[in-house]
Structure 1
Amino acid sequence: MSRNTLVVPQATQALDQLKYEVAQELGIQLSPDGYNGNLRTYDAGKIGGTITRKLVQIAEQSLGGSSSNWR
């Protein structure tokens, strides 16, 4: 179980859905029962990195700019 706490607890379902969508895009099979103990660390990192990139992209779009404005 993750130790991270979500600021918006209702986001759990959306994040899980995003995780499965990203895994499917990358061609990585996730277990539907939630146990992914057989998942390679490399694959888990690819999923997490892609999710992070997508979330940053969504945040940038909602702010109406890009990260280069913050330098």
Structure 2
Amino acid sequence: MANNNNQLVVPQANAALDQLKYEVASELGIAIPQDGYMGNMATRDAGSIGGNITRRLVQIAEQSLAGQFK
């Protein structure tokens, strides 16, 4: 995540979030430049990637919470 001003609560999660970004982009058929600079990417594409990442993270959290209460 190049030039990102957001601070991660768990800094060790950075690599996993980068991996997730590339996975989601690949599934959507969107190419992310290897240098990580997304300034030339269409806003719609960036929004699609971010929205799908958020959906996936919520799904992971829900599954984790469901597992705790079984």
Verify same fold: TM over 0.5: yes
Amino acid corresponding to residue 61 of structure 2 in structure 1: A
- Deviation string, structure 1 residues 20-63 (Cα, Å, up to 9, x no partner): 00000000000011112210000000000000000000000000
Question: What is the CA RMSD across the aligned residues, in angstroms?
Answer: 1.1
Structure 1's consecutive aligned runs of 4 or more residues displaced over 3 angstroms after TM superposition are none
- The count of aligned residue pairs is 65
The whole-number CA distance in structure 1 between the counterparts of 2:55 and 2:21 is 12
Percentage identity across paired residues of the two chains: 71
> Which TM-score applies when normalising by structure 1?
0.87
> Which TM-score applies when normalising by structure 2?
0.88
Question: Which of the pair has the greater relative contact order for Cα pairs under 8 Å at 6+ separation?
Answer: 2
